[in-house]
């Protein structure tokens, strides 16, 4: 998967495992800045304020530009946050934060047991985590004659674009969004449809979130 296209959590998700009577509750969420990650961690710690530990780990970005962070929240050094972060780094995901909440069950797990438990808790939530994708997109604008409007709309849909706005005047000015990898094919098809009379102008290149089950962007970030 390329640097400008990578999987992220689609929404906040939670699951729980039990190890030697201790409860390990893993909550994962999409985060797009250090501030968002810290706010998520603070919220989970407040929700589980009576827990023995709330151990965080997060990745902001992806690949060579990633910001990574973890801590052990009072567990023995290197037994909790670092193993959690290692699972995240091996998952291929970006823009993700996980907090594993532990309620101590009375049985000490030892160093190796803690490493396995925190790692397994993250693996468990990743196994049920719905995924989306962060994608580089072009926002484009085109002036379309009314006679071609429906055909242009269908063409946008066929190339997995998303119509953001339509302004009706002498022509219809359409603002649409395409994954950067899909836009050249749309541009060629638009020119073919209009016999060279129409072309879409790129007005912005940004990022959008789309579900992995679809190729149409669903939201800007």
Q: Are residues 34 and 141 in the same domain?
A: no
Indicate if 87 and 99 belong to the same structural domain: yes
Distance of CA 191 to the CA centre of its chain: 34
- Provide mean pLDDT across the span 32-49: 98
Q: What is the mean pLDDT of the chain?
A: 93
Using left for φ > 0, alpha for ψ between -120 and 50, and beta otherwise, residue 63 falls in: left
pLDDT confidence of residue 2: 47
- CATH number for the domain spanning 137: value is 3.30.70.240
What's the structural domain count of the chain?
A: 2
Whether residues 107 and 146 share a domain: the answer is no
pLDDT tens digits, one per residue of 44-95: 999 999 999 999 999 999 888 899 999 999 999 999 999 999 999 999 999 9
Whole-number Å distance between alpha carbons of 109 and 154: 59
- Nearest CA-CA partner of 26 in 105, 68, 87, 110: 87
Decide: 218 and 137 in contact? Cβ < 8 Å: no
Helix axis angle, 81-91 to 110-128, nearest 10°: 40
Return the number of other C-beta atoms located less than 10 Å from residue 174's C-beta: 21
Residues 109, 166: one domain?
A: no
Same domain assignment for residues 144 and 216: yes
Contact 3, 61 (CB under 8 A): no
175 and 109 both lie in a single domain: no
pLDDT beyond 50 at 172 = yes
Is residue 125 domain-shared with residue 48, that is, in the same domain? yes
In whole angstroms, give the CA distance from residue 96 to residue 121.
15
- The DSSP line for 151-184 is HHHHHHHHTT-EEEEEEESSSEEEEEEEETTTHH
Q: Which of 75, 97, 129 is the last residue of a domain?
A: 129
Domain boundary among 94, 109, 129: 129
pLDDT(218) > 70: no
Confidence of residue 190 (pLDDT cuts 50, 70, 90): very high
| Domain finish residue from 89, 112, 129 | 129
Q: Name the DSSP letter for residue 75.
A: S
pLDDT at residue 1 greater than cutoff 70? no
Given a contact cutoff of 8 angstroms between Cβ atoms, the answer to whether 137 and 206 are in contact is yes
Q: Do 107 and 172 belong together in one domain?
A: no
61: left (phi over 0), alpha (psi -120 to 50) or beta: left
Is the pLDDT at 195 greater than 70? The verdict is yes
Residue 4's pLDDT band, with cuts at 50, 70 and 90, is low
Q: Are 88 and 81 in contact (CB under 8 A)?
A: no
Mean pLDDT for the stretch of residues 4-21? 92
Q: Is the dihedral of CA 165, 167, 168, 174 positive or negative?
A: negative
pLDDT digits (tens, 9 = 90+) for 101-124: 999 999 999 999 999 999 999 999
Q: In whole angstroms, give the CA distance from residue 14 to residue 213.
A: 21
Same domain, 111 and 141: no
Same domain membership, residue 178 and residue 110: no
Domain extent at residue 14: 5-129
Within this chain, do residues 111 and 137 fall inside the same structural domain, yes or no? no
**51 and 148 belong to one structural domain:** no
- We report the CATH number of the domain holding residue 92 as 3.30.230.30
Confidence of residue 135 (pLDDT cuts 50, 70, 90): confident
Least confident segment among 52-56, 162-166, 208-212: 208-212
pLDDT confidence band for 214 (50 / 70 / 90): very low
Query: Span 143-158, mean pLDDT?
Result: 98
The residue whose two tokens read 């999409």 is 30
Q: Average pLDDT of 143-154?
A: 98
Q: How far apart are CA 159 and CA 183, in angstroms?
A: 8
């Amino acid at each position: 998967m390329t640097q400008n296209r990578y999987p992220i959590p689609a929404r906040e998700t939670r699951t729980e495992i039990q190890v030697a009577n201790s409860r390990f509750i893993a909550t994962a969420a999409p985060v797009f800045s250090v501030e968002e990650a810290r706010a998520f961690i603070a919220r989970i710690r407040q929700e589980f304020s009576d827990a023995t530990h709330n151990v965080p780990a997060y990745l902001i970005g992806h690949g060579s530009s990633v910001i990574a962070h973890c801590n052990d929240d009072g567990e023995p050094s290197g037994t909790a946050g670092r193993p959690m972060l290692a699972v995240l780094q091996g998952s291929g995901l970006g823009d993700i934060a996980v907090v594993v909440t532990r309620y101590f069950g009375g049985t000490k797990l030892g160093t190796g047991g803690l490493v396995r438990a925190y790692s397994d808790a993250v693996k468990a939530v990743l196994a049920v985590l719905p995924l989306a994708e962060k994608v580089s997109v072009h926002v484009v604008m085109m002036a379309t004659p009314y006679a071609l409007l429906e055909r242009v709309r269908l063409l946008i849909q066929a190339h997995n674009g998303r119509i953001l706005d339509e302004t009706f005047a002498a022509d219809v000015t359409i603002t649409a969004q395409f994954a950067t990898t899909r836009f050249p094919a749309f541009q060629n098809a638009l020119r073919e449809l209009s016999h060279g009379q129409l072309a879409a102008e790129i007005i912005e290149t940004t990022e959008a979130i789309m579900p992995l089950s679809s190729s149409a962007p669903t939201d800007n970030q």
